[in-house]
Amino acid sequence: MKNKNSVLRYFGLFLLVVGIILSIKMYVDKAYPTYLFFIISGIGIIQVIASFLSKQMKVSWQIFWALLPIIIGFIYLKL
């Protein structure tokens, strides 16, 4: 049970940290405010919570659920 959904958890933590760092950089640089960084942080929080609440998933499903928001984001930005 110690390694339960660890891929999803660590990817969610990575997104959370990246979102926080980019938000801080935005405020330090006094850049035009964008909420994309808050959305990235929110997706990271949701992934971490989902990794704790869900049953043990196969690694392939964890990778799928970790990369799905990024793929959807790229598709959305291309349209």
Q: What is the per-residue pLDDT for 59? A: 86
Residue among 60, 16, 58, 64 at smallest CA distance from 40: 16
| Threshold 0.85, pTM exceeds | no
Domain-wise residue ranges, the chain: 6-78
Q: What is the per-residue pLDDT for 61? A: 86
- Residue 35 to residue 57: CA distance in whole angstroms: 31
Mean pLDDT of successive 10-residue segments in the chain (79 residues)?
A: 79 91 87 82 90 86 88 86
Instruction: Give yes or no for a contact between 74 and 20, defined as CB atoms under 8 angstroms apart.
Output: no
By CB atoms closer than 10 A (0-12, 13-18, 19+), residue 40 is: buried
